[in-house]
Chain A
């Protein structure tokens, strides 16, 4: 038992307590390094290899990534002849009922505002419900364009899952032709994710997406009835209130 004790600042404490105190001290001093380490799947920088096409993906609420329209227009303007690909999602109910424009209409309009002609924007009819559908549609497109190289704009916290899905669906050869352009929100950066509420949320969702992709593989999504069918079903389920 004698050897099991040590001295810290003159106090006699057990070896285990000393280790716990040391661990706490290391955590306090190096918490930023440790927390940054846990964001390793999202830290890969944007691909530096040149690409002929910039690919935008997202949903009816906008393209994935921060200020993606600005970044895409800037990329397009750098060299003549560059094209933009749009991976089109499945038309959602709020698009169907006219509450928002479709992803294609929004992207075309926003890019036009920034000087990108619509002729340089090529939609890919992916009818995607998730990133696996998007990867499959891109895979088909890459087969039809064997010399093309593509860069996909994305939120850094989604980049880990996106890279994993692309490598699974495209295979090693085609995956080499696709790079990622991470478009970070300055208010929730990967390097300091724990400092803001949105950063913590993005970090949590980023990891959950990645864990699901690793554990489950290809996504299984349920049927998505259209707006009219959904409304009919919901009304039947809810029924009328008693008078």
Chain B
């Protein structure tokens, strides 16, 4: 038994080192961010959904989409109050976004306020689904940073699964990094690495990932038991 494991360790170690070398290579690292980015070129939509966060980028991009005539209005959620907001040090996020949109030439009449006090992207998607119940739309364009688009699309497609609405993602430039060099800046590293953790968590919490892990583990245990049984039988035969 021990000898068998000793035989496997070098292969596992070399495989692990090779995998790390490939994964952490500057040639392959951009793929980690590119895979997360599922944004597409702008298309005509019934509304732009401006997700909260990325205040120095997202509202400017959403404003440019409305200004360019790609959509007539912007759906914007309120968010749970930040401690600085509660103390009155900063205005509510809805207000900050609205002012940035105004700078981009979007009047307040074009901004639809969704009073969801959202804490997560899931909450924002749910509020949009509630809005669509009374205001049906065929196409929505979601604005967020590139590495956030894959998880956001997954959430919106899941929450809006029973509605005939097409979800399109538009990637806003991230603050301080690009998909090609994300690991060089702290902001990029935090954004991309945390997105993978969040995708894993969302897969476990809301998706099928948890079941898949349980089923694969059970299969591995069964395979191992079958393999051990076969070896035991072979030994007893050879002993006979």
- Residue of A110, A204, A220 near B185 (CB, 8 A) is A220
A: residues with CB less than 8 A from B are: 4, 60-62, 66-67, 69, 92-94, 97-101, 106, 109-110, 129-130, 185, 204-205, 208-209, 211-213, 216, 219-222, 224, 227, 230-231, 234-235, 237-243
Q: Which of B10-18, B83-91, B123-131, B208-216 forms contacts with chain A?
A: B83-91
Complex contact B184–A240 (CB within 8 A): no
- Collect the chain A residues with CB atoms within 8 Å of residue B183's CB: 216
Instruction: Determine the distance from Cα of A240 to Cα of B197 in the docked complex, in whole angstroms.
Output: 37
Convert B67-79 into 0s and 1s, putting 1 for each residue whose CB lies closer than 8 angstroms to a CB of A: 1111000000000
* A3–chain B nearest beta-carbon distance, Å: 12
Complex contact A238–B65 (CB within 8 A): yes
Instruction: Determine the distance from Cα of A109 to Cα of B88 in the docked complex, in whole angstroms.
Output: 10
Give the number of residues in B that approach A within 8 Å (Cβ atoms): 45
Instruction: Determine the distance from Cα of A4 to Cα of B57 in the docked complex, in whole angstroms.
Output: 62
Complex contact B60–A227 (CB within 8 A): yes
B168 is an interface residue with CB less than 8 A from chain A: no
Chain B, residue nearest A228 (CB): B103
B186 is an interface residue with CB less than 8 A from chain A: yes
Instruction: Determine the distance from Cα of A205 to Cα of B190 in the docked complex, in whole angstroms.
Output: 7
* A22–chain B nearest beta-carbon distance, Å: 19
* B199–chain A nearest beta-carbon distance, Å: 13
Q: A61-B82, A231-B60 are in contact. Are A94 and B100 (CB under 8 A)?
A: yes
Complex contact B90–A212 (CB within 8 A): no
Instruction: Determine the distance from Cα of A204 to Cα of B199 in the docked complex, in whole angstroms.
Output: 14
Complex contact A231–B190 (CB within 8 A): no
Complex contact B103–A110 (CB within 8 A): no
Complex contact B186–A130 (CB within 8 A): yes
B56 is an interface residue with CB less than 8 A from chain A: yes
Complex contact B189–A240 (CB within 8 A): no
B46 is an interface residue with CB less than 8 A from chain A: no
Instruction: Determine the distance from Cα of A57 to Cα of B178 in the docked complex, in whole angstroms.
Output: 26
Convert B163-205 into 0s and 1s, putting 1 for each residue whose CB lies closer than 8 angstroms to a CB of A: 0000000000101111001011111011001100100000000
Complex contact B60–A234 (CB within 8 A): yes
- Residue of A62, A106, A216, A227 near B103 (CB, 8 A) is A227
- Residue of B99, B184, B193 near A216 (CB, 8 A) is B184
Complex contact A99–B100 (CB within 8 A): yes
Complex contact A94–B96 (CB within 8 A): yes
A98-B99, A106-B90, A231-B103 are known contacts; what are 17 more A-B pairs with Cβ within 8 Å? A69-B87, A93-B60, A94-B55, A94-B96, A94-B99, A129-B176, A130-B187, A208-B193, A209-B190, A220-B181, A230-B60, A235-B67, A235-B68, A238-B42, A238-B65, A239-B42, A240-B68
Convert B31-56 into 0s and 1s, putting 1 for each residue whose CB lies closer than 8 angstroms to a CB of A: 00000000000101000000000011
* A183–chain B nearest beta-carbon distance, Å: 11
Q: A208-B194, A222-B176, A224-B176 are in contact. Are A241 and B60 (CB under 8 A)?
A: no
Complex contact A97–B100 (CB within 8 A): yes
- Residue of A67, A208, A237 near B189 (CB, 8 A) is A208
Complex contact A240–B89 (CB within 8 A): no
